[in-house]
Amino acid sequence: MHKPRMQLLASFDIASLEYLDERGHTTQALPDFATPDTLVAFYRQMALARLVDDRAVKMQRTGQLGTYPSSLGQEAIGVGVGAAMAKEDVYCPNYRETGALLERGVTIQEIYAIWGGDERGQNFRHAREDLPLSVPIATQMLHGAGVAFALKYKHEQLGEPMRVAVTTGGDGSTSRGDFYEAINLAGDWQLPLVVVINNNQWAISLPRSEQTACKTLAQKAIAAGIPSLQVDGNDVIAVREAVGDAVERARRGAGPSMVEAVSYRLCDHTTADDASRYQPEQALKEAWSREPLRRLRSYMQAHGFWGDSQEEEMQRELNQALEKAVQEYRDTPRDAATAIFDHLYETLPEAFLEQYQQLRGEN
């Protein structure tokens, strides 16, 4: 059959970014921010995230915590994202971003409280404007778009400095309408929103390859008319660079963009999961060879600003901080039963006073 002649309307490219390969060798000149001090700080935060996750899993096993979603293997994404944001920007997280939460100033105790079944953990002492952890997949992206609208509104209408909303979600989140509606609006309204897809290759038991027919998740941004790229999510420098670039674009009013950060979930989905039921052992083994901490440490060691003594010193300090936080978490008395009504409305409507009193055992 004769093939019809067509006219080209539009073309799109999706590219990927990397600085440090698996062995910690640079594949191109590093960005300016990548000074030894900064890289040590990144490394330290990644190491802390790993410790926090590791302890959480142990505490769950011993009944001190509920179901917990570790971010083992994804520390570079969390830390890269957190480091790319200004303090006054607003983070709109999913539930698996220990590194980013710590960067934002959410405390270890708060993280443990949340997964220990205590809403008080979401009342972040420091990151007052950041959104709470969001469990329903991808919903936070719409909240993020709303936050971005508000930040733009306050900038343009009320003369405040421009701030940026950053939201994260997993590979699975890109299948939900919420994700798509959020990026489409962000493009349409040119919101200061950065969407980071933490592609850890799994959504519980569903591998990335079965989540969508797309070659990359980054290309989904084409459907919203916004720029996107893929980065090596095990390379904290690449994550920091790509997200930083996206944040700055948003801050200068040039609109939203999306970053797909490719890593690997090196752990069970949560402590309630058993990944050996569905995950090929070989894939896991290979993924370990690409994990983010070792490659950065190799780089730091090769360039002479990190060694065993620094590592030991750091581990000691981090463990101390962790112990302190664990202790504080354990020492926190359970919330009062009436707390379940105290923050439902700003003022409890009269109609529910009777229930409140019943709860207090008053009738």
Partner 1 sequence: MGEITLVEAITQALAFELQADQRVVVFGEDVGVNGGVFRATEGLQDRFGSARVLDTPLAETMIAGIAIGMAAQGLRPVAEFQFMGFIYPALDHILSHAGRYRNRTRGRLSCPIVYRAPYGGGIHAPEHHSESTEALFAHIPGLRLVVPSSPARAYGLLLAAIRNPDPVVFLEPKRIYRAARQEVPDSGDALPLDRAFVLREGTDVTLISWGASLKETLQAAEQLAEEGIEAEVIDPATLKPLDIHTVIDSLEKTHRCVVIHEAARFCGLGAEVVAQINEYAFDLLHAPVQRVTGYDTVMPYFQLEDEYLPGAPRILAAVRKALDYANGGAV
Ligand X SMILES: Cc1ncc(C[n+]2csc(CCOP(=O)(O)OP(=O)(O)O)c2C)c(N)n1
309, interface contact from Mg ion, its own copies, partner 1, none, CB < 5-8 Å by kind: none
Q: Should residue 51 be labelled a site residue for its own copies when binding is judged by CB under 8 A?
A: no
According to CB under 6 A, which residues from 90 to 109 bind ligand X? 96
337 touches 359 (CB < 8 A): yes
Using rule CB under 5 A, residue 170 touches Mg ion: yes
Token reading at 42: 């990144």
Out of 265, 290, 295, 297, the only residue in the binding site for ligand X (CB under 6 A) is: 265
Question: In the complex, what is the shortest distance from the CB of residue 171 to ligand X, in angstroms, rounded to a whole number?
Answer: 4
Residue from the set 20, 165, 195, 259 that interacts with partner 1 by CB under 8 A = 165
Interface with ligand X, residue 173, by CB under 6 A: yes
Catalytic residues: 265, 269, 278
Confirm or reject binding of residue 158 to its own copies (CB under 8 A): no
Q: Which residues of 219-254 are buried (b: 16+ CB within 10 A; e: fewer)?
A: bbbbebebbbbbbbbbbbbbbbbbbbbbbebbbeee
Residues 94-133 that bind partner 1 (CB under 8 A): 95, 114-120, 122-124, 128-129, 131-132
Phi, psi of 192 (to 5 degrees): -80, 70
Considering beta carbons, is residue 144 or 192 the nearer one to ligand X? 144
- Using CB under 8 A, which of 23, 86, 87, 136 touches partner 1? 136
CA 310 – CA 348 distance, rounded (Å): 54
Q: How far is the CB of 29 from its own copies (least distance, A)?
A: 7
Reported as half-sphere exposure (CB side, CA atoms, 13 A), residue 238 has a value of: 28
Query: Could you tell me which stretch among 60-68, 210-218, 309-317, 325-333 binds its own copies (CB under 8 A)?
Result: 210-218
Size of the site for partner 1 (CB under 8 A): 80
Q: Per rule CB under 6 A, is residue 67 in the interface with ligand X?
A: no
Q: Is 204 in the site for ligand X (CB under 6 A)?
A: yes
194 binds partner 1 per the rule CB under 8 A: no
DSSP string, 101-144: HHHHT--HHHHHHHHTT-GGGGS-SS-TTSPPP--STTHHHHHH
Q: How far is the CB of 119 from its own copies (least distance, A)?
A: 28
Cβ neighbors of 166 (< 8 A, separation 6 or more) are: 81, 84, 85, 89, 90, 91, 92, 144, 193, 194, 196, 243, 247
Q: Is residue 200 a contact point for Mg ion (CB under 5 A)? A: yes
Q: Smaller CB distance to partner 1: residue 76 or 141?
A: 141
DSSP assignments along 243-289, one per residue: HHHHHHHHHTT---EEEEEE----S-SSTT--GGGTS-HHHHHHHHT
**Is 184 a binder of its own copies (CB under 8 A)?**
yes
CB-based burial label for 294 (10 Å; 0-12, 13-18, 19+)? middle
Tell me: does residue 311 bind partner 1 (CB under 8 A). no
C-alpha to C-alpha distance for 192 and 208, rounded to whole angstroms: 28
The span of 100-108, 129-137, 294-302, 347-355 binding ligand X (CB under 6 A) equals 129-137
DSSP conformational letter for 178: H
Cβ(233)–Cβ(263) below 8 Å: yes
Task: Report if residue 40 touches its own copies, rule: CB under 8 A.
Answer: no
What is the side-by-side order of every strand in the sheet holding 90-92? 90-92, 165-170, 193-199, 257-262, 228-232
Determine, following the binding rule CB under 6 A, whether residue 203 of this chain makes contact with ligand X: yes
Q: Where do contacts with its own copies occur on this chain (CB under 8 A)?
A: 1-2, 4-19, 28-29, 31-32, 175-178, 180-181, 184, 187-188, 190, 210-216, 218-226, 229-230, 241
Q: Where do contacts with Mg ion occur on this chain (CB under 5 A)?
A: 170-171, 200, 202-203
Q: Where do contacts with ligand X occur on this chain (CB under 6 A)?
A: 96, 135-137, 169-173, 198, 200, 202-204, 265, 269
